[in-house]
Amino acid sequence: MLLVIDTGNTNIVFAVHNGTEWRGTWRLATSAQRTSDEYGVWLEALLTRAGITPSEISRAVIGTVVPAALYDLRRLCREWFDVEPLVANARLDWGFEIKVDTPDEVGADRLLNALAAHNLYHGPLVVVDFGTATTFDVVDADGAYLGGAISPGINLSIEALHQAAARLPRIGIGRPQSVIGRSTIPAMRSGTYWGYIGLIEGLLTRIEGEYGTPLKAIATGGLAPLFAEGTSRFTAIDSDLTLYGLRLLSLRNNPPPLPRDRARFIEAE
C-alpha cells in the first residue's frame, strides 16, 4: 500500500492507496510544530479504524509547500512505517518538460496538479487550484508545464479586508444571490465572491489569448465546487487532483532506500 501525504499551507491530507482504490483519506491542520510522534499516534488510530496495519504500508510519497513540516513527516514515514518517502521536487522524473525559468521554484503542488490533470483530462488545459493561494497552471497539448499565475486566496483576501478596515467584520464565504448588496455584510459577500468569479474568468480569458487556443479549465481545491457554481468556464471539478498526481509520481520514480542509520541521517538533515 502507498501512503500519500499532501502538505498545504492550511491542511495536510493523508491518504492510502492499495493499487486499486483509495482506502482512506484524512485531513489535519498544518502545523510546523507538530512532531512525527503526534502524526504517528493520530494516523495509526485512523488506519486501524480503516482496517489497515502500519506494516501494510510499503511505500510513501510526500508533496509539500511547507518546508518546515518536511522533517517530521519524513521521520513519520521512517519510524512508524519503516519506509523512506519519495519527496516531490522538480528534479524527479515527471514525464513532461518543466518550461519555466527556474523549475526548482515551482511549488510541488502545481507540478502534481499538472501531472494529474494531463493524465486524466489531456491538454492543453489550465488547472485552477483554490487553496491558500489561488493558482492558475498551464499545461500544453504534450503535457509540458508552462507556468501560470498566482493570486491571493479567497480566505486571505477576506482576512486582509477585515484586518485593514476597522468597521468591516470578518465574514464567511458563500455565494450571494444578489450582486448589489443592500447592507455592509451582503455587499462584502458580493464583492468577495463575484469579484473572485471576475478574477477567474478574466485570467482564464487572458491566458487563452496569450496561449492562442481555447483551453480546458480544471478546478481543484476545497472551494472549487463553490466557485464553479458561479461560472461556466470549468470543464471539470476534481478535488483529489493533487493526491492523484502524487500517486502517479510514485509510480514513475523508484522509492529511495531507507538509510541504515536512520537516527544519524535525520540529525544531519
pLDDT at 162: 74
Catalytic residue numbers read: 109
pLDDT in tens, the chain (269 residues): 999 999 988 889 999 999 999 999 999 998 888 999 999 999 999 999 999 999 999 999 999 988 899 999 999 999 999 999 999 999 999 999 999 999 999 989 999 999 999 999 998 999 999 988 899 999 999 999 999 999 988 877 777 877 777 677 777 777 888 899 888 888 888 888 999 999 999 999 999 999 999 999 999 988 899 999 999 999 999 988 999 999 999 999 998 888 866 544 444 44
The CA distance from 207 to 237, in Å, is 19
Cis peptide before 103 (omega within 30 of 0): no
Grouping H, G, I as helix, E, B as strand and the rest as coil, residue 10 is coil
Torsion angle defined by CA atoms of residues 148, 88, 26 and 60, in that order, rounded to the nearest 10 degrees: 160
Query: Rg of the chain over CA atoms, in angstroms?
Result: 20
CA geometry: angle 162, 165, 167, nearest 5 deg: 90
pLDDT at 181: 85
Cβ-count burial of 103 within 10 angstroms (0-12 exposed, 13-18 middle, 19+ buried)? middle
The CA distance from 190 to 198, in Å, is 11
H/E element, 191: helix 184-211
Q: Position of cell 485531513?
A: 27
pTM attached to this predicted model: 0.86
pLDDT at 223: 87
The CA distance from 219 to 227, in Å, is 9
CA geometry: angle 103, 136, 25, nearest 5 deg: 90
φ and ψ at 261, to 5 degrees?
-100, 85
pLDDT at 50: 93
